[in-house]
Amino acid sequence: MCGSAMRFITAEAKASAGRLDGKMREKTLTMDTLNPQVKAVEYAVRGPIVIKAGEIERYLEEGGTKPFSEVIKANIGDAHAMGQQPITFLRQVVALCTFPELMDSPSFPEDAKWRARRILQGCGGHSLGSYSASPGVECIRKDIAAYIEQRDEGVPSDWENIYLTTGASDGIMTILRLLVSGKDSSRTGVMIPIPQYPLYSAAISEMDAVQVNYYLDEDNCWALDINELHRAHQAAKQHCQPRVICIINPGNPTGQVQSKKCIEEVLHFAYEENLFVMSDEVYQDNVYAPDCQFHSFKKVLYEMGPEYFSSVELVSFHSTSKGYTGECGFRGGYMEVINMDPEVKAQLVKLLSVRLCPPLAGQAAMDVIVNPPQPEEHTFKQFHQEKSSVLGALAEKAKLTEQILNAVPGIKCNPVQGAMYAFPRIFIPPKAVEEAKALGMQPDMLYCLRLLEETGICVVPGSGFGQKDRTYHFRMTILPSIEKLNVLLGKVRDFHIRFLKEYSGLE
C-alpha cells in the first residue's frame, strides 16, 4: 500500500485492526481467510431482502414514514408469527413436562397429564432438563414408529430406525454429512429439485459437494418428470458421481403433491442408479387439493415389493414446525432411516452423540403430534376443532392465493396443492431485466425489493430457490390471516400492474 492510500484508510478498516507500538495488527479471521465454503452458502429465505425488511420495520418503529404502516412478512413458513394459534393440547403437554407441579392442577386434562408423565418417565431423573439418548427419548421413538405404521396402513416401522432431530434441517444436514466425503466432496453429486428449498443448496455449498439440478415441470403443476431425472443424472455423471436424490413432497416452494405413480418412478430410478433417497416430507399434513393425497415414499417403496423394500436406502424427514401445529420455535423433528448399513448406523449415532441430543421440549412436542388425542378421549373434540380450523383456513387461503394471483395480467400461479407457499411466475419486462442487470442483481430481486419498498410486503425472489433461465418467480407464504392475505394480494396486484406499466413505457 502506498503512502497516500495509507492516509486515506477508512474508519472501518481502522476499527478492524488493533494497534500496538504503532504497527497494524491484522485480524486472524477476515473475508480472505474465512472458510470459502461458508462464503459460498446462500440462504434466500433469510437473505438480503429479509434484512432490508427488518431495517424498514425498525425505521417505522422509530417514527419514520413509508407509503404503508407495517411490513407483512410472507417470506418464511413461520405460522405463529403470522397469528396462527398453538394447539392447546400440545402446549398443555409440554407445559406439564416443563413444570410437573402442574400435574396437581385441575385445569389440566388427564389426557395431557398421562402423556406428560409417560414422556417424563422416559427422561433421566424424570426431568426435561436431562440429556436424552442421542437418537431421542425411547418412548417417543416408539410412538413415532406406531404413528408411521398407522399412517402407512400397516407397513412396519422399527422404532430403532427413528432418530429425533433439532428440526428437520438438522437431520438433513446430518445425513448429507455422512454421504458427502470430505476430500472427495467435489466428486459427490446431490440431486435436488429446482426450484428447491435453499437449505439443500446451502448444505451442498457448505460441504463443497456438487449440486445436480433436476427441474420440476412448471407447465404441469410442478410435477416431477422422470425423463428429466434421467437427463440430469446422465449429464452429472460426466463430472461427478451422483449418490443422493432429494425430494420435497409436498413441494417447497412449489406446493405440488406428488402422485403415487411419480413416487414409484423415482424409487425405481433410485434403485436402478444406486442412489440414496432423502425424502423431505415435512408438509405431509398440508394437502389441500381435493384430488391430491399424501403418499409416503416408504409406503410406496413397500408396495413395490420386497426387492425394493429391502434394499433402497431411504430417509424420510418430519418436523413440528409445519403441519397444523406450526411449532417452529421448538425445533422438533425426526427422521426414519430405512435399509441403512448397520455399521453406518452406528457411525450416525456417534455423529449425533457429539451434539448430545435434540431439545427435549421439541421431542415432547413431536410426541403429541404422533400421539394426538383419540376420539374416546375428552380432549379429542377441542383438539380436532383446532386442527381442522388451521387446516381448513390454509386450504381456503391456498385457493384464494391462486385465484387472485391468476387474475393479474403477467402473473401465472400453479395450484397450491399442499405445503404453505405459492410460487407464481411473474412476467418482468425486458427494460426491468436490463435495469436489474445494470445494478448487478437478479431481475426478480429488483422486483421483490421494489415490492417491499413500495408496499411493505416481504416475499423471496425465485432466484433464491432456483428456476429455469429467463423465468422469474417469487415465493410467498399463505400464512397471513384471510383478511391480511386479501390486503396483501391486492397490493401485489396493484404493484405488479404499476411495475408492468412503468417498464413497458405505458405510463
Among positions 150-209, residues that touch its own copies (CB under 8 A) are 166-167, 169-170, 173, 177-183, 185, 199, 202-203, 206, 208
Among 231, 239, 355, 431, binds its own copies (CB under 8 A): 355
Does residue 359 interact with its own copies by CB under 8 A? yes
Task: Tell me the closest approach of the beta carbon of residue 373 to its own copies, in angstroms.
Answer: 16
Amino acid symbol at 16 = S
Tell me: does residue 307 bind its own copies (CB under 8 A).
yes
With CB under 8 A as the contact rule, the residue among 331, 387, 425, 475 that binds its own copies is 331
For residues 76 and 282, what is the distance between their CA atoms, to the nearest angstrom?
A: 15
Question: Contacting its own copies (CB under 8 A), which of 327, 336, 367, 386?
Answer: 327
Instruction: Fill in the amino acid letter for 457.
Output: I
Instruction: Note whether 11 binds its own copies by CB under 8 A.
Output: no
CA 143 to chain centroid, in Å, comes to 24
CA distance 267 to 194: 19
Choices 11-19, 218-226, 404-412, 496-504 (CB under 8 A): range interacting with its own copies: 11-19
Q: Which residues inside 70-99 make contact with its own copies, applying CB under 8 A?
A: 76, 78-84, 86, 91-92, 94-95, 98-99
Q: Smallest distance, Å, CB 158 to its own copies? A: 13
Q: Residue 127 interacts with its own copies (CB under 8 A)?
A: yes
Cell triple for 131:
440429556
Q: Residue from 56, 74, 123, 229 that binds its own copies (CB under 8 A)? A: 123
Long-range CB contacts (within 8 A, 24+) of 490-496: 490/404, 491/455, 491/457, 492/405, 492/408, 492/451, 492/455, 492/457, 493/404, 493/405, 493/407, 493/408, 494/455, 495/450, 495/451, 495/454, 495/455, 495/457, 496/408, 496/410, 496/411, 496/426
Q: Which is nearer to its own copies, 279 or 414 (CB)?
A: 279
Site for its own copies in 213-252 (CB under 8 A): 243-244
Cα separation, 372 vs 147, whole angstroms: 10
- CB atoms < 10 A from the CB of 85, how many? 12
User: Least distance to its own copies from the beta carbon of 29, Å?
Assistant: 5
Q: Among 103, 139, 221, 351, which residue interacts with its own copies (rule: CB under 8 A)? A: 351
256 CB-near residues (< 8 Å, 6+ apart): 216, 221, 222, 223, 249, 250, 414, 417, 418
- Count of residues engaged in binding its own copies, rule: CB under 8 A: 111
The footprint of its own copies on residues 361-420 (CB under 8 A) is 361-362
Crossing angle of helices 138-151 and 360-370, in 10° steps, is 30
Stretch that binds its own copies, among 129-137, 292-300, 375-383, 470-478 (CB under 8 A): 129-137
Full 3-state SS string of 202-248: HHHHHHCCEEEEEECEHHHCCECCHHHHHHHHHHHHCCCEEEEEEEE
Strand 188-194 with 210-215, pairing: parallel
Stretch that binds its own copies, among 211-219, 254-262, 289-297, 309-317 (CB under 8 A): 309-317
Answer yes or no whether residue 109 interacts with its own copies by CB under 8 A. no
Q: Which range in 18-26, 374-382, 413-421, 495-503 contacts its own copies by CB under 8 A?
A: 18-26
Of 2 and 31, which CB lies nearer to its own copies in the complex structure?
31
Binders of its own copies among residues 450 to 489 (CB under 8 A) are: none
Pick between residue 275 and residue 419 the one whose CB is nearest to its own copies.
275
Integer angstrom CA distances of residue 7 from 4, 10, 23, 25, 104: 5, 9, 14, 17, 72
Q: What is the smallest separation between the CB atom of 484 and its own copies, expressed in angstroms?
A: 12
Smaller CB distance to its own copies: residue 244 or 432? 244
Length of the chain: 507
**CA pair distance 424, 412, nearest whole angstrom:** 6
Residue 493 carries which side chain, given as an amino acid letter? Answer: R
The residue range among 24-32, 428-436, 455-463, 489-497 that interacts with its own copies, by the rule CB under 8 A, is: 24-32
Residue 18 DSSP SS3: strand
Residue 477: phi and psi, rounded to 5, are -80, 160
341 scored as a contact of its own copies (CB under 8 A): yes
Identify whether the C-beta of residue 150 lies closer than 8 Å to the C-beta of residue 172. Answer: no
From 3, 63, 106, 129, residue interacting with its own copies (rule: CB under 8 A): 129
CB of 54 to its own copies, least distance (A): 8
Residue 69: CB minimum distance to its own copies, A:
18
Using CB under 8 A, pick the residue from 9, 55, 105, 381 that binds its own copies: 105
Number of alpha helices (DSSP H) and beta strands (DSSP E) in the chain: 19, 16
Interface pick for its own copies out of 256, 325, 414, 477 (rule CB under 8 A) = 325
Q: Considering only residues 262, 301, 312, 368, which one is a binding residue for its own copies as defined by CB under 8 A?
A: 312
